[in-house]
Structure 1
């Protein structure tokens, strides 16, 4: 392997810029290629019109996939077949079939691959994992991740190709299954349409998913993205886990800073992404650095592609349940 890990970034939107900022600051990484347009923090990278050209260029050892949710699978399969390591934004894929072919290609090629469920690196969540033994066998959990309406109407231009559950609950399903150390066997879900459809965006306003785990615990996953833009954070995030011997609560609405101006009162977020004295920091950066370390050492990432495939399976079953009005077994 060259002295530096050569990384290509596929996708030049918000997440592509975030990956570029973190990777460009890593001392053992060089961003050598991007697709489909130039990126800040990757000014010296070669721009390719298509990800297939990027993979065929021979200039990358790993690829960072930051395309819209429904476009992940084809890039992963092509990267694996090219022998290129893979970091992919959540969710892993948006169909089980896509997840299965991605996992198969990755395992057959023997490349390192990880879905960026970065919440496992939030200090409080990592600490919760370590404290799970104190609360005993999981009984019931609740995870809420709700966005302001800015996200589906202004931040992303493909909200009609995904849902709040794919976009938001994927994080929480990965997190809770990790905390429970268990897997989901059945789901029942409901979706509410109205406000966004009235604005010409054909996606649910909100979804709730009730999940039953193999050892009997249950959890509810709530997602919505119609909060008013006056809400003090773009994301309202809360998790609780009740065990037989205790309870853990994780509230990330406030992250140790409050900001009041003549125009607004906000809680600026900093656990996931922040820049400290010009250097990227936070759980997002730590998760990406973990992937880089795994590529360079050959270690298996904390997040396996099989566990990420399970998150996709849970969400696919939830959307089927919401469509039919009946529970769905995995």
Structure 2
């Protein structure tokens, strides 16, 4: 694994606990972790259960005892590491968003396709049992033709103007702000549940344009010296919102912000079809609200399903009904698919192709925000030199 902070902890926990809950044909062995700070990566390796550590990710690529490279670095490092791993014949799991641009994402996709390695992108929210069950209801036609999706992803961790200028606020490192960091998840869930985007129109804004500069940043929980007066420019969005039309005729409304006070991780969606509706909220991730139009008059309304029964996807591997699971289990569920893919030689979804499409939707919204016009997703590929044959 390359990197060891927030996502490094989440992925490490999943590797450590996967075989406790699931039987897969291959099981992960935590051979080595890489990070530039030797003291930090050594401590992380000891705490999280990695057998060895390296201070240069290239050493992981060179090692014969490593088959899978897991990329949990800041976004600007994804493309170089992924392409090097693919050329060395290593399977790859990469955090989202896949890259900084559509061109980079396409290069990564071409590299894994050329080498034939197994690849996935870590959109872990797909693997919440309630979300998987929502997908099952939609596939079975229980909601009929889908008309609407409205999705929000609201956080508040940078609401304080004195929160420092961490890497997630610097375009050259992260690509975009709330747009690529969290709205990418909403886009992926919409593709998973509703279908492909056709066109979008959006807007993006930055409300706090300068923040304190710090020598090191700890991510979502970073702090700046109250007496530190040197400020740096925020070069990404604080908020992103857009409307969308889907290929199948559905319409959608999406919003993401990291300045919505009181929302710690408000990843939510509602989908409306001709026969019913579903609602989901990550902060109550085990619960799915479902409404069917053919319910008896007088008893109609949303019912709440606790998706912890054995028949709910992945839930049967954990605890008895009603004994809820948490955020960390979404990564375990994703790793199950990754291990099965490695065993059988295929790339489970979401994979790098999904990552490229997600990147194209992100790019289309950003282009729309700049031009104040509707943008077709297909035009992004044409505008970028018709890079991708989808």
The TM-score bracket by the shorter chain reads 0.7 to 0.9
Aligned residues: 301
Please give the TM-score of this superposition, normalised by the length of structure 2: 0.71
Q: How does 1:149-228 map to 2 (within 5 A)?
A: 149-150=157-158, 153=163, 157-161=167-171, 162-180=176-194, 182-197=195-210, 200=232, 201-228=234-261
Structure with more of its chain in strand, by fraction: 1
Q: What per-residue deviation string (whole Å, max 9, x for no partner) do you get for residues 82-115 of structure 1? A: 1000111111223110111111110111110000
Q: What per-residue deviation string (whole Å, max 9, x for no partner) do you get for residues 43-98 of structure 1? A: 55332222222101222100111011232122111111110001111112231101
Gaps of 5+ in 2: 20-26, 36-40, 213-231, 288-307, 309-317, 378-390
Stretches (4+) displaced over 6 A:
none
Q: What per-residue deviation string (whole Å, max 9, x for no partner) do you get for residues 2-30 of structure 1? A: xxxxxxx0112211122112213344221
Q: How does 1:19-58 map to 2 (within 5 A)?
A: 19-27=11-19, 28-36=27-35, 37-38=41-42, 39-40=44-45, 41-58=47-64
Contact 2:149 2:270 survives alignment (8 Å): yes
The structure that has the greater radius of gyration is 2
Shift of 1:198: 6.0
Q: Which of the residues 56, 72, 75 maps onto 2:78?
A: 72
Q: Which of the residues 269, 279, 296 maps onto 1:239?
A: 269
* C-alpha separation in 1, matches of 2:327 and 2:151: 27
Q: Decide whether aligned partners of structure 1 residues 280 and 173 sit closer, same or farther in structure 2, where only a CA change above 3 A counts.
A: closer
Report which structure shows greater RCO (CA 8 Å, sep ≥6).
2
Q: What root-mean-square deviation, in Å, do the aligned CA atoms of Structure 1 and Structure 2 show?
A: 2.7
* C-alpha separation in 2, matches of 1:298 and 1:248: 35
Please give the TM-score of this superposition, normalised by the length of structure 1: 0.83
Shift of 1:307: 2.0
Q: Which of the residues 315, 325, 329 maps onto 2:372?
A: 325
Shift of 1:308: 2.1
Q: What per-residue deviation string (whole Å, max 9, x for no partner) do you get for residues 245-296 of structure 1? A: 2221113334579xxxxxxxxxxxxx9xxx999x995212211232122212
Gaps of 5+ in 1: 1-8, 258-270
Q: Who is 1:144 aligned against? A: 152
Shift of 1:227: 2.6
* C-alpha separation in 1, matches of 2:75 and 2:168: 9
Contact 1:196 1:204 survives alignment (8 Å): no
